[in-house]
A and B are shown apart, each in its own frame.
Chain A
Amino acid sequence: MGIALSLTENVLREGFVYALMAIGVFITYKILDFPDLSVDGTFPLGGVIAAALINAGADPWLTLLIAFAGGAAAGAVTGLLHVRLRITNLLSGILVMTALWSVNLIVAGGKAVVQFFNRPTIFSTGFGALVSASFYAQRKLIVAFVLVMALKLIVDLFLTTRHGLLLRACGNNAQFVVNLGKDPGTVKIVGLMIGNGCAALAGCVLAQISENADVNAGKGMVVMALAAVIIGTSLFERFGKFKGTTMAIFGAILYKAALQIALSLGLPPNYLKLLMAAVLTLALVSKEFGANERYVTGKEVTDEA
């Protein structure tokens, strides 16, 4: 019983952390229809930023903001490559992901893993200290939950603003944005900045949970985040009006749970990435087959055109 409980806690805690990234990928993939591979680089970027700053004595909560800004800067590069230099979306992501490998190593001071054991983290200072005082054992779970709810509320609020509406319009119909006198390229860049900022934020929080940052932590992050978003939306869309961010959080937790169950049933960890790819493939395929239920916009009238 005790093991089951700790496994559940583990799934939820990691689910919340990856949900931070899934919310970002929800914006780039679901809203902007941009499969952004740079997330594989911005996730560990957040981690090494946390390690470097905490080891230098910075406030752990401040590292969250700086990690977000660092991720946003990398997202801006992806956007500029795609929008201004007209490189395809997949290649722009690959370029930034590859370049970030070096950047991450430089930030990490040349080491593949940077440890900061027993240094202050978001779980031991500020709001984390308050939580630790009464719920020491669950402090990481609670702080992660609060962070993901805060991010969700901010993103939900942003999506109801004028710029948020413009972002949704841009993924839907870029010509419409042009008609409004706005450059859809700029709108896309802003979306990619938010998406990658969220990914770096997730990496920053994960590093502080384990008290070390690993430049290899990004491998498979795109697959994980995409799977979370697609599983979340395809499973929960039919149950009425869930917000996209909520579905991304549910998806991240479900996905983590599925992996945890597979590992508990004795799947060797070496097979994990294989399983991750298989799950995403399944999710993508089931989405394709479910797609014909939705209305196909404008099709019935443009056939003769």
Chain B
Amino acid sequence: MKLDAAVGTAPLVSLEHIYKRFNPRSVNETVLFQDFNFRIYPGQFVSIVGSNGSGKTTLLNLICGSVIEDSGNILIEGRKINGDPEYLRAARIGRVFQDPSKGTCADLSILENMALADRKGKTFGLFPGINRKRIDDYRAMLEQLRLGLEDKIHIPVGSLSGGQRQALAMLIATMTPIDLLVLDEHTAALDPKSSDTVMELTDQVVRSKGLTSIMVTHNLRYAVEYGNRLVMMHEGRAIIDAAGDAKAGYAIPDLLKIFNEISIECGN
């Protein structure tokens, strides 16, 4: 099952023997992960699909520290990060959320959002918040989005459309050097056209910066067309895990068929 693209190299992220249940000791107790193991190797762009409740988003939350495992180890570059709070892990992780309002600050201008993102993982202190020497660089980055945002750097981000905000969130998440890019259904809340724009932008950024990425999506076309490793989750297990050529063998109908089989199995 493990068809790792880069066998021989050390994994960037490892989840080892993860156990996680929700609402323990209550009638709603759900056991999600039981001895779950997962590795992401440098240079991989992992697309994860799966039905609701299959553990896709929990997997991302475990890596980022927004959800804490009951037991097991999480390592980045071989270093245990279990005990680290979310904000400490975030210094080396870029994350884009489903909700476009989560990745940016609505009341702050585009410029202020970018100036903050520029200091990610560094100290803040009482220096001027906006480094004027960097404004031209910010404009150049915005130009690459081709949304005309470079002429609007002083307007509050809250007045942008969802697609524009998500493109900006994508830019902000990858502005500083990061180990891992985490995409949490980041196109799900957008209209089809904006969704395609943001997905293409994502692919462009991931390629040009050579980022290791993990993307959860409900869009099977994105999962098949983008990335170099495909994972399908079901009830806390990876029932498909295909990298490289094996991934290229999967087409959308194959995935849909497996989806349907699972659903029948579950009685849906």
User: Which A residues contact B (CB, under 8 angstroms)?
Assistant: 158, 160-166, 168-169, 172-173, 175-184, 295, 297-298, 300-302, 304-305
Contact = CB atoms under 8 A, between A and B. Distances in A.
B188 A183 contact: no
A183 B85 CA distance: 9
Contacts, number: 113
B35 interface: no
B135 interface: no
A177 B105 CA distance: 9
B189 interface: yes
Contacts of B229: none
Interface of A is mostly: helix
Interface residues on B, range: 35 or more
B55 interface: no
B189 A302 contact: yes
Contacts of B165: 298
A175 B128 CA distance: 23
A168 B124 contact: no
Given A161-B128, A177-B87, A181-B91, A298 B103 contact: no
Given A172-B108, A179-B95, A181-B87, A161 B129 contact: yes
B24 interface: no
Contacts of B112: 165, 168
Contact of B125 (A162, A295, A302): A162
A295 B158 contact: yes
A162 B129 contact: yes
Contacts of A158: 126
Q: Which 4 A-B pairs have the closest CB atoms?
A: A298-B101, A181-B91, A301-B162, A297-B106
Contacts of A178: 86-87, 90
B159 A295 contact: yes
Interface of B: 85-88, 90-92, 94-95, 97-108, 112, 115-117, 119-121, 124-130, 158-159, 161-162, 165, 173, 188-191
5 contacts: A162-B124, A162-B129, A179-B95, A301-B162, A301-B191
Contacts of A168: 105, 107-108, 112
B108 A169 contact: yes
B129 A165 contact: yes
User: Quick one: which of A162, A168, A295, A305 has the most chain B CB within 10 A?
Assistant: A162
Nearest to A181: B91
Nearest to B194: A301
Contact of A181 (B108, B121, B128): B121
Contacts of B105: 168-169, 172-173, 176
Contacts of B119: 162, 180
A27 to B, nearest CB: 14
B120 A300 contact: no
- Residue among A160, A181, A295 with most chain B CB within 10 A: A181
Contacts of B98: 302, 305
Contacts of A300: 162
A13 B120 CA distance: 44
A98 B41 CA distance: 55
Contacts of A182: 87, 124
Given A158-B126, A162-B125, A298-B99, A180 B85 contact: no
Given A163-B125, A165-B112, A183-B85, A297 B91 contact: no
Given A177-B87, A180-B116, A297 B158 contact: yes
A164 B125 CA distance: 9
Contacts of B92: 181
A180 B115 CA distance: 11
Given A166-B124, A176-B104, A180-B121, 19 more contacts: A161-B124, A161-B129, A162-B119, A162-B125, A163-B124, A163-B126, A165-B112, A168-B112, A169-B105, A173-B104, A173-B106, A179-B94, A180-B90, A180-B117, A181-B90, A182-B124, A184-B87, A301-B189, A304-B189
Contact of B102 (A161, A173, A180): A173
Contacts of B104: 173, 176
A168 B108 CA distance: 8
Nearest to A304: B189
Given A161-B125, A178-B90, A297-B101, A305 B188 contact: yes
Contacts of A305: 98-99, 188-189
A114 to B, nearest CB: 36
Nearest to A158: B126
